[in-house]
Amino acid sequence: MRKNAMEYLQRLTEAERNRIEKNQWNQVLQTGRWKEAGTIAITVSKYPEWSTYSYLESAWAQGKTVAVPKVDPLDKGMEFYEVGSYDHLKEGYKGIMEPDSSFCSPIHKTDIDLLFVPGLLFNYEGYRIGFGGGFYDRYLTDFFGATISVTSEAQLKQIIPLEAHDIPVQMVVTENRTIRIF
């Protein structure tokens, strides 16, 4: 399933991707969770993921605190750091842009108002199949803030395989709708 989802993302034309991402972005910015959040935590996307650049730029423009993850591949841990601009990023694990911890301050989980959780496939109950690293599964075990995932209608499935440690997100946003789970 993971492979098919990646292939779907890679097959999208630039025009299709731009249309879907614009609609996703508009949906997210209309949610109360986005509007109320003072601090958002979000990855810096890497192709073929859905772009997060519009969210980063909107958050900075709106005066929100932006937290970006830095992972430790050895213990599969993840910590978020405040990032004020793209200049505060450097290439990290698997070529993903991460905070430069030499001048970015850590953000505690309890200070994150809205956590964007990436994934490849989702069901209607907010469960997801991620990219395979397990970083977010571990992080979510003791995260109690609001969670949101951005995906496309094509990546929503009635049934996906679940594991005992899976934790659903509270909201799934597609190009056409916002699904509030809880």
Residues annotated within a binding site: 44, 49, 128-136
Contact between 160 and 121 under an 8 Å Cβ cutoff? The reply is yes
Could you tell me which residues come within 8 angstroms of residue 14 by beta carbon, excluding any fewer than 6 positions away? none
Residues making up the annotated binding site for ATP are 128-136
Q: Which amino acid is at 31?
A: T
Helices (H) and strands (E) in the chain, counts: 5, 13
Helices (H), the chain: 2-11, 14-29, 32-36, 53-61, 135-140
Annotated binding site for substrate: 44, 49
How far is 30 from 155, CA to CA, in rounded Å? 21
SS3 of residue 16 by DSSP: helix
Query: What is the crossing angle of helices 14-29 and 53-61, to 10°?
Result: 40
